[in-house]
Structure 1
């Protein structure tokens, strides 16, 4: 299983910032699923509840990948990059970012590609798959939909992943980082807090150990 790759400087910076924020508040670790659950509007007179669109996604390549923020970088033909390129071994499983309907297609540019459309108005585009898993269908978040490849206009096996939240294409890096990398940072932080130093406040422990903690990540990959 490949390790996700934020820089150790970024990880330490995030931990130090968290330490400062926690210096005046108690620390509590809750259920991440509960913390990220989409809010619901009040119940109407007819008893219907509308779920607010969410930008929380499942990591598209849960078994591990390497990626950088390449949003807007130049591409052939004067195009601008509208996704994030997630490099991984050929054949690594790719999953649905949210629950919705997956529609597989093939094109010269995207190769084996797919559009995932959700009932919340979000769309996700996957390109360069080696092959599909099954046929076009309804899928659940986290369900395998295909495998990493290099079909179409691609150099080396990777997934080109786009997000279209509420109908607008946007930089997928923040949502992808939150889904694929942040959990590792959180887990490392929680492990550091498992045995607090005697006589230190939790915030002080975080600040001290954030300086020493090393999350060995290498994001030096080509922008495909």
Structure 2
């Protein structure tokens, strides 16, 4: 008899606990200069935002995204978290599920929400929904 094996830690998690989207990838609208480059979670300001993957977090200000956190995974995929109110982790290593920031409405935003993007190899954004679904996560 030995100790039970702890469950394996998930390597992918949704960035917020609440499900439901207020904007989807590619959506056109008057608030964007180009089509929408991510998905939006309509959460109240101050909602904990978790790293969706393991990786290295960096943070910065952007006039479009406001307070922005970027987590870059070992495979080069970057996940972007925009319109944040504040950061909990400004730089360094994080694991999927670590709280990295708190949602807000900074930058070009019409109200509190989390803007989430996926950028393979740090390149152009792709639709996060199929990426999340491929990892067993459904934000809808």
Alignment match of 2:21 (pick from 67, 82, 87): 67
- Normalised by the size of structure 1, how large is the TM-score? 0.52
Q: 2:38 aligns with which of 68, 72, 83?
A: 83
Q: Summarize the Cα distance change of 1:164–1:155 in structure 2 as closer, same or farther, 3 Å threshold.
A: same
Contact 1:69 1:173 in 2 (8 A): no
Residue of structure 2 in register with 1:185 after alignment: none
**Pairwise CA RMSD:** 2.5
Higher mean Cα deviation, 138-147 or 163-172? Answer: 163-172
Contact 2:129 2:138 in 1 (8 A): no
Stretches of structure 2 lacking an aligned partner (at least 5 in a row): 1-6
List structure 1 segments (4+ residues) > 4 angstroms apart after TM superposition.
none
Superposed, 1:35-184 pairs within 5 Å as: 57-62=12-17, 64-67=18-21, 70-75=24-29, 76=31, 78-166=33-121, 167=123, 169-176=125-132, 178-181=136-139
- C-alpha distance in structure 1 between counterparts of 2:22 and 2:131, whole Å: 13
The structure that has the greater radius of gyration is 1
The alpha-carbon distance between structure 1 residues 140 and 149, as it changes in their structure 2 partners (threshold 3 A), is same
Structure 1: how far apart are the matches of 2:22 and 2:105? 18
Task: Please report how far the alpha carbon of residue 135 of structure 1 lies from its aligned counterpart in structure 2 after TM superposition.
Answer: 2.2
CA contact (8 A) 1:65 1:88 kept: no
User: CA separation of 1:95/1:151 partners in 2, compared to 1, >3 Å: closer, same or farther?
Assistant: same
Residue 88 of structure 1 aligns to a residue in which SS?
coil
Count of residues in correspondence between the two structures: 130
Q: Unpaired segments of 5 or more residues in structure 1?
A: 1-31, 38-55, 182-218, 220-224
Higher helix fraction (1 or 2): 1
SS in 2 for 1:155: coil
The answer to which structure has the higher strand fraction is 2
TM-score, normalised via structure 2 length: 0.80
